[in-house]
Amino acid sequence: MAVNTQVPVPRLLGNLIERGVAKKLYLVITLEKEVRLEALVDTGAYLTLMSSQLFNRLQTEAKRQNRTLKYQQCVLNVQSYSQNEVQLEQVAPIHLTIGPMSLVRPVYIAPVDTYPLLIGKDLLDRFEPLLDFKQLKIWAQVREPLPPQSPRSPETDCQATKVTENPTASRGNVSTQEQGSRSILCAFQLDKDFDSDGPQILAGLQLNDVTTTDLILALWADNSAISLTLFNALKSHTTNISFANKRTRFALNPGLSTLVTAKVICALNLNWNDRSLTHYFLVLPDLPHDVYIGADLLIRLKAHVDLLNGVIWAPMTSQASAVPVNPENLLSGQTIPEACTLISEQETVIPAYTKWVAVRLNLRCGQTLSHSLGFFQPSPECVELGLTLDATPLVEVTSRALYILFNNCMAMDVRVPKAYRLGWLVSYDFQDFELVLPVIGPLPVSMIPEGSSSHTVVTVPFKIITILSVVPVVKEQVCRTELTVDQHLAVYTVSSHPTCETDNATAPPTVHQTDDVKTGAPYPGFETQVQQILRDADALREDADRHKLRQVLYKYKDSFAKDSLDCGLMTCMWCESQRTQKLHPPLSSSTRFLSNRMNLCRTSSPRCLRRVSSVHVTAPTLPPSGLSSNQTASGGQPSTIGS
């Protein structure tokens, strides 16, 4: 479930105006491209209403322009907040202009003249508006007005989704709303920090037909785990549980302050809100809760952990493929069947400043891959050694040994110890080519080690899975989260530094003056180009880096093209000659000198580049065979060389 759905940039519809003691909000609107007035914005009203007096005025303006504005008869009974029932009998299509957007909307004509025009929810919904009551502005979250909705009775649009403990079986064709509900794997407590036990999951889980509700979201953990008490209950209920005696470590919290040792690893059939698969769990004595859901299970379900809304999203269309239980996998500690560990076969030295050095790696003993192809993912230990890759290798697995080409770009040799973990091999049929768990919202502070990035951390204690914050925004910036029809998760946010239209949108942002950089724009529209380049540079996350890029652009501003005919620092070089195709005399010394100067200008640094004015040179040429010394190959016409 991708979260990179492009969201339209909000557009400013206008400023809200407060009137009266009650501070009612008004918005400037233009009717029929002629009449401009302030309309009352009433988010509690379902219909947009116009007074009969205002409609008569619009009819008069239309008649002056030789147009006819007609209404249609209707019968609609509405109830006001004063509990008085009013019957609307007329409706007319009115051309409305609000800020940069225009549309034609049926507007009901009210028999009372309390307000000339009242903007109701039916009109506001076509803009998906965002109302800023602090700054008194209203924004549209769509590029164009949405199509009109079919009439329906006024009712609330707030719908809640409840995740039940006993999910029903999936049906064939379901509506978009039902698909969105079923894409929510579970909810968890947002108020619970990750410092102690982790958030409590508010849903039930079936393990071998035994239901438990004592679940903890262990986002930091490499593996999922169950308590010894639950394991004994499962063995008494099911006799054919596959397990092996395997000692491994498990972190009860992200800070590694409490590490416990598991002595058993088992394979259990899991059913979680219509998701079914077989997964490996560590068995821990004295575990405070029945089940700890680790990152390994979440990536197999292709889940997104939404820390802003307190839910886990997992599309129904991306369930993990069935993998048979292999006892050797249990003994080797392979808890993710679609990924196995690669270790160096022997001690290897990679010389300094070398590329594409083949290193022989082996699958860890007992671990297997179900597919004949796999993607190599380097481990944190590989990165710490300083080894790099040109790309993500796709390797064919024909035996337990394979070769990976590494680069050493450092000034010293890299020594790879024997049996050293250099990475993992991720199966080709896995839903991703790397072990990454996406998180929506900022990562919990307790999960971020000192000196690490605030957007990326690794699971503990073995650093198998990368946890990546794909939408690192705070909860206050999110205005809506929805699941689209094509199963993409769209997160709508409000930026504290909007790039949308404002009253002074044409004014260029302030550029800091430096000693060696002149910030004056060389031509109109240059600042617009700079802003577009900064928006496209999405790899720069810090404001300081964006400021440095801005300084570079202004430093070499002379290299920008002013229009489509400007080639930047050098204009086109062309040569006209009347020679025939068979005659190719050598260039004279003066022509060669000018050509060399052109080449020097092209290869010089941007600081030294200068424009070369157009030069007309009459180049004397050597007489070819058959021509006298008084004739030239061009018939006496000068060769023109321009820059």
DSSP class of 434: S
pLDDT score recorded for residue 553: 86
601 vs 411, higher pLDDT:
411
Arithmetic mean of pLDDT, 331-351: 90
Residues 228 and 235: their CA atoms lie apart, in Å, by 10
Structure tokens at 309: 């809304």
pLDDT for 413 beyond 60: yes
Domain 11-140 falls in which CATH fold?
Answer: Cathepsin D, subunit A; domain 1 (2.40.70)
- 466 forms bridges with which residues in the sheet? 436, 458
Residues 79 and 77: their CA atoms lie apart, in Å, by 7
> Which burial class, exposed, middle or buried, applies to 601 when counting CB atoms under 10 A from its CB (0-12, 13-18, 19+)?
middle
Arithmetic mean of pLDDT, 427-446: 87
Residues 434 and 120: their CA atoms lie apart, in Å, by 49
pLDDT score recorded for residue 147: 76
Reported CATH class of domain 178-338+430-498: mainly beta
Q: Give the range among 187-191, 228-232, 342-346, 545-549 with minimum mean pLDDT.
A: 187-191
Q: Where in the chain is the domain with CATH 2.70.40.10?
A: 339-428
Q: What is the pLDDT of residues 277-327, one digit of tens each?
A: 899 999 999 888 999 999 999 999 989 999 888 899 887 755 555 567 888
Q: What is the pLDDT of residues 262-273, one digit of tens each?
A: 989 999 999 998
Arithmetic mean of pLDDT, 84-105: 88
Structure tokens at 402: 């394979």
Q: Where in the chain is the domain with CATH 2.40.70.10?
A: 11-140, 178-338+430-498
pLDDT for 420 beyond 60: yes
171 vs 520, higher pLDDT:
520
pLDDT for 177 beyond 90: no
Q: What is the pLDDT of residues 220-233, one digit of tens each?
A: 999 999 999 999 99
Task: Output the 3-class SS for 499-528.
Answer: CCCCCCCCCCCCCCCCCCCCCCCCCCCHHH
> Which burial class, exposed, middle or buried, applies to 78 when counting CB atoms under 10 A from its CB (0-12, 13-18, 19+)?
middle
pLDDT score recorded for residue 531: 82
How far is Cα of residue 212 from the mean position of the Cα atoms in its chain? 35
Pairing of strands 304-306, 137-140: unpaired
List, in sequence order, the alpha helices (H) in 207-284: 228-237
* Per-residue buried b or exposed e for 110-146, using 16+ beta carbons within 10 Å of the residue's own CB: beeeebbbbbbbbbbebbbbbbeeeeebbbbbeeebe
H helices then E strands: how many in the chain?
A: 10, 39
**What is the number of other CB atoms lying within 10 angstroms of the CB of residue 314?**
25
Q: What is the pLDDT of residues 441-482, one digit of tens each?
A: 888 888 888 767 778 899 999 999 999 988 778 777 777 777
Structure tokens at 611: 């424009």
pLDDT for 616 beyond 50: no
pTM comes to 0.53
DSSP, residue by residue, 204-236? -EEETTEEE--EEE-TTBSS-EEEHHHHHHHHH
Span 339-428 CATH architecture: Distorted Sandwich (2.70)
Structure tokens at 365: 């003993």
How far is Cα of residue 538 from the mean position of the Cα atoms in its chain? 10
User: Percent of the chain scored above 90 by pLDDT?
Assistant: 28
Q: Give the range among 23-27, 107-111, 462-466, 515-519 with minimum mean pLDDT.
A: 515-519
Q: What is the pLDDT of residues 62-87, one digit of tens each?
A: 888 888 888 888 888 877 655 567 88
Choose among 227, 195, 226, 256: nearest CA to 461: 256
Q: Per DSSP, which regions of 345-399 are E strands?
A: 348-350, 354-363, 373-378, 387-388, 394-396
Choose among 191, 19, 209: nearest CA to 116: 19
